[in-house]
Amino acid sequence: MSKKKEEELLKLVSEEEIPVHVAVIMDGNGRWAKNRGWPRIAGHKAGMDTLREIISCADEIGIKVMTFFAFSTENWKRPSWEVKYLMKLPEEYLQKELNTLMEKNVVIKAIGDLSRLPRRTLKAVNDALHNTKDNTGLVINFALNYGGRAEIVDAVRQISQKVAAGKLEPDDIDAQVLADHLYTGDIPDPDLLIRPSGELRISNFLLWQMAYTELWFTRILWPDFNREHFLRAIMDYQRRERRFGGIKK
């Protein structure tokens, strides 16, 4: 996108209604590579450049939290060579980007069942969480081996254990208690979900948290997704009326 066009777009983005939390399903890498006659992993690699571009744009416009779906609990079904590559990506990404992210004062977080990640991946992720924990800027939350259903099951299990141990009364269980036991903890629910690739589904992402999230779909494949698309999604979001079950103000 030309600088001029970008400035024009930026002017159209209202500063008052920037979503606090934007979640993204980074989808379409495989098709992007296939269209070029390249192996699927070339698409995953190209997707990392998009990730960098979108993070810097989100930071510039003042978004507080970005959650990126990087690997789902269902993605283990893929061929082992692809899973292996996808599991190496976080390490590669963090090695390359951590300095820049530190300069941007970014806080890295992760949600999902991290215990199943390979040892080296887990170490890279844990180091990044540790090194950025005192930063105060944009929160980048990576969903790794994440599944919305697994997350809710985990929460129910923890709550049941508390009830069994006499630490919690069944009558005291409400939506807030359940939310407190999810991986997202103190992260607010997403205001906007962006899904590239043309699929019109949420694929087990943030099931509980997306109860009132605005959904934005595009046919653009993730490696082709850029700042312009991102700003358009934000502008569309700003034109929507969120009612949360109430009526127009």
Which amino acids are annotated catalytic? 27, 75
The candidate with the shortest Cα–Cα distance to 137, out of 109, 175, 179, 97, is 109
The site for ligand IPE, by CB under 6 A, has a size of: 17
* Binding window for ligand IPE (CB under 6 A); candidates: 22-30, 50-58, 128-136, 162-170: 22-30
91 part of the interface to Mg ion, by CB under 5 A? no
86 part of the interface to Mg ion, by CB under 5 A? no
Judge residue 166's burial from the number of C-beta atoms within 10 Å of its C-beta, 0-12 exposed, 13-18 middle, 19 or more buried.
Answer: exposed
The tokens describing 82, both together, are 């692809």
Q: What is the DSSP string of 106-157?
A: PEEEEES-GGGS-HHHHHHHHHHHHHHTT--S-EEEEE-SB-HHHHHHHHHH
Residue with smallest beta-carbon separation from Mg ion: 27
**Which one of Mg ion, ligand IPE, none is in contact with 64 (Cβ closer than 5 to 8 A by kind)?**
none
27 part of the interface to Mg ion, by CB under 5 A? yes
Contact predicate 118/86, CB 8 Å: no
CA distance 217 to 201: 9
Q: Which of residues 68-127 bind ligand IPE (CB under 6 A)?
A: 69-72, 75, 86
Residue 75 or residue 131: which is nearer to ligand IPE going by CB?
A: 75
Summarize as ranges the residues that interact with ligand IPE (CB under 6 A).
Answer: 25-31, 69-72, 75, 86, 197, 199, 201, 203
Summarize as ranges the residues that interact with Mg ion (CB under 5 A).
Answer: 27
